[in-house]
Structure 1
Amino acid sequence: MPTALITGASSGLGVEFARNLAATGADLVLVGRDRDALDAVAEEVRSRHGIRTEVLPADLVKPDELARVEARVADREHPIDLLVNNAGFGLPLDFAANDIDDEVRHLRVHIEAPMRLMHAALGAMLARGRGRIVNVASVAGFIPRSTYGACKGWLIGFSRWANGYYGPRGVTVTAVCPGYTHTNFHERLGLPPGQEGIPAWMWLDARTVVAEGLRDAARGKPVSVPSLRYKLLVGLTRVLPPTLAARVGEKGR
């Protein structure tokens, strides 16, 4: 059976990736900061699907802990067939008012960590001539949206390039770009359910996002934008004047 490593696997989309992949028979390596939450996810998918699970607690902001995850991804004796870079968190949009150390941690989790893990994965996958990398980006990567949009824009652009460059050698890279999705992400920003200021029609279901993203990754697509409504919105951002696009990016937290 293939083995998938998922970062940010203790909550939100990470749990949905774990459930979806476990249902296909994939063994899992679950990475996150909360050991108890990871153990709960591991027990759920193991008891339901009979797969093997490995729990790897790590805070990706800390260099020594990130290095442990890199080493696991690069382990050629116990290969990772699918890497899902999903870990992330949000900050308020007012960059000038935010604590700069929080912004640096944000940058490390959203860019440095996936870059290092991709580098580790590519070395091992290219040696075998096969592998798949999924980078969870965001529709925010197509819209001016403070440092969050900038980080996700980098992830989208790099995934496009890497998929074209390494795809012919058997390793595909896909940026999955959901819009607003019902998880606990917004609650962690201090926003109770229903108080995010986002119209109901803009919300997606986490299971649908993951299923469509993995389907597009299996097809070797460089970018996956789940749901027709967000595909249309992304297309619209390409023709919006910059000032109007920036106002669109101010919606929600």
Structure 2
Amino acid sequence: MVADTIHVHSHLAGHPSYHILGHEIVLDVPITALILSAIGAAFLLRYTLSIFRLALELAVLPGKDVKSLQSRQGGTWALVTGCTSGIGLEFARQLAKRKFNVILIGRRKHALDEVAQELESKFGVQTKSVVVDVAAPGSARDEALSQIELLAKDLDLGVLINNVGASHNMPVAFAETERSEMNQIIETNVAWTLLLTRAVIPSMIARSSAGGKARGPKSLIMTIGSLSGRIPSPLLATYSGTKAALSTWTKALAEEVKPQGVVVELVQAAFVVSNMSKIRKSSPFVPYPATFVRSVLTSIGLPRGAQGRPHERTPFWTHALLDYAVGFAGYVSEITGIRVILGMHKDIRKRALKKAERAAKKE
């Protein structure tokens, strides 16, 4: 008769044996040691596979290229905010190079006209421009949103790049942050991003779905986040909080519209050479905008450094390694990351104050 229970007794040699389904199993180690070894092996396997996946996604596996989102008949449009300099300008250029027509959003008409002329003459695409101060709530911003909503209905809008962002003039304690600076950051990073996306997403859903079933080309809503939202950043608390808010919003929205053929992603970025970062020289950890944007547009769908966080990705390789390292050891690596950021921001603030003091003496 086959046993349906487990019987335990000790051999003369001192090794416990177990009878399972009629088979005797003799252990050379205590059961507690065996369980702990199994748990350790599971964790080791998990981290080994995770590191292997990171290496594959950074060096081998191709993500989707943004060109895959174009309609077969051509004439697909992309909308880019904050497009007159830095990362936003590179998004406009590289999308135009891939033959997307581009809707340009910014607050300086002259700068928008220059970008439009460059894209049209160099890449042979169409452009449309909307002038708006995204940080200023009121009738002018509402009118611009209505104008953008109409454009989305009339055009084959397949890509939205939520790039525009605002940060602090320098690292500053939250208790000392000017109200006007806080309002500008919140209105630009959160309010405008949500309002703009709300204005165009019905048209993007209609483009990518019919009768509730995704049949058209997929559409993409890509929001440029920051590792300051991933790693809480003391002395940039308001900015850090707005970027963290975009992460949660992205995940919620992505699950809503995924069945309708719309892909929603948050791209995590560390420092990039730009006016906002005030960094002028490139390094392995601080790429030029062209290099960063190229990594973003050719790796859609690959989390890279953002493993385990749905609808987020960290495409540039050194940013991915930093992101991955911060989350690798749980609390220990997370709190270490926060304290490193605090020390860095203290140093940046100290140097910025000295620079301002020298400038004041020259006046």
What is the TM-score of this pair, normalised by structure 2? 0.62
- Answer yes or no: is 1:151 the counterpart of 2:242: yes
- Answer yes or no: is 1:228 the counterpart of 2:332: no
Partner of 1:93: 171
Tell me: CA distance 1:175–1:44, structure 2 relative to 1, closer, same or farther (3 Å): same
Task: Report the residue type matching 2:275 in the other structure.
Answer: N
The SS at the match of 2:154 is coil
Partner of 1:70: 145
The SS at the match of 2:83 is coil
Tell me: CA distance 1:177–1:237, structure 2 relative to 1, closer, same or farther (3 Å): same
- Supply the RMSD in Å over aligned alpha carbons: 2.3
CA contact (8 A) 1:8 1:14 kept: yes
Give the one of 337, 351, 355 matched to 1:245: 337
Tell me: CA distance 1:217–1:116, structure 2 relative to 1, closer, same or farther (3 Å): farther
- Distance of 1:168 and 1:123 partners within structure 2: 14
- Could you list the per-position Cα deviations for residues 92-143 of structure 1 after superposition, in whole angstroms to 9, with x for gaps in the alignment? 3322222112101110100000111111222221223242111011121111
Deviates more, 1:48-57 or 1:118-127: 118-127
- Distance of 2:126 and 2:111 partners within structure 1: 17
Deviates more, 1:200-209 or 1:242-251: 242-251
Tell me: CA distance 1:224–1:179, structure 2 relative to 1, closer, same or farther (3 Å): same
Partner of 1:217: 300
Aligned residues: 245
- Answer yes or no: is 1:119 the counterpart of 2:193: no
- Answer yes or no: is 1:141 the counterpart of 2:213: no
The SS at the match of 1:133 is strand
- Distance of 2:291 and 2:81 partners within structure 1: 19
CA contact (8 A) 2:224 2:266 kept: yes
- Distance of 1:25 and 1:153 partners within structure 2: 33
- Distance of 1:176 and 1:59 partners within structure 2: 24
- Could you list the per-position Cα deviations for residues 189-226 of structure 1 after superposition, in whole angstroms to 9, with x for gaps in the alignment? xxx746xxxx9432122112212222333779822212
Partner of 1:108: 187
- Distance of 2:288 and 2:79 partners within structure 1: 22
Give the one of 46, 66, 75 matched to 2:120: 46
- Answer yes or no: is 1:167 the counterpart of 2:272: no
Task: Report the residue type matching 1:119 in the other structure.
Answer: R
Which aligned runs of 4 or more in structure 1 are off by greater than 4 angstroms?
A: 218-221
Percent identity for Structure 1 against Structure 2:
25
CA contact (8 A) 2:274 2:280 kept: no
- Distance of 1:111 and 1:23 partners within structure 2: 29
Tell me: CA distance 1:232–1:81, structure 2 relative to 1, closer, same or farther (3 Å): same
Task: Report the residue type matching 2:205 in the other structure.
Answer: L
CA contact (8 A) 1:56 1:69 kept: yes
The SS at the match of 1:202 is coil
Taking CA–CA contacts closer than 8 Å with sequence separation of 6 or more, which of the two structures ends up with the larger relative contact order?
A: 1
- Distance of 1:6 and 1:72 partners within structure 2: 15
- Answer yes or no: is 1:59 the counterpart of 2:142: no
1:17 to partner: Cα distance = 0.4
- Distance of 2:171 and 2:118 partners within structure 1: 36
Task: Report the residue type matching 1:71 in the other structure.
Answer: S
The SS at the match of 2:299 is helix
The SS at the match of 2:129 is strand
The SS at the match of 1:31 is strand
- Distance of 1:141 and 1:162 partners within structure 2: 18
Q: Unpaired runs of 5+ in structure 1? A: none
1:39 to partner: Cα distance = 1.1
What is the TM-score of this pair, normalised by structure 1? 0.88
Task: Report the residue type matching 1:117 in the other structure.
Answer: L
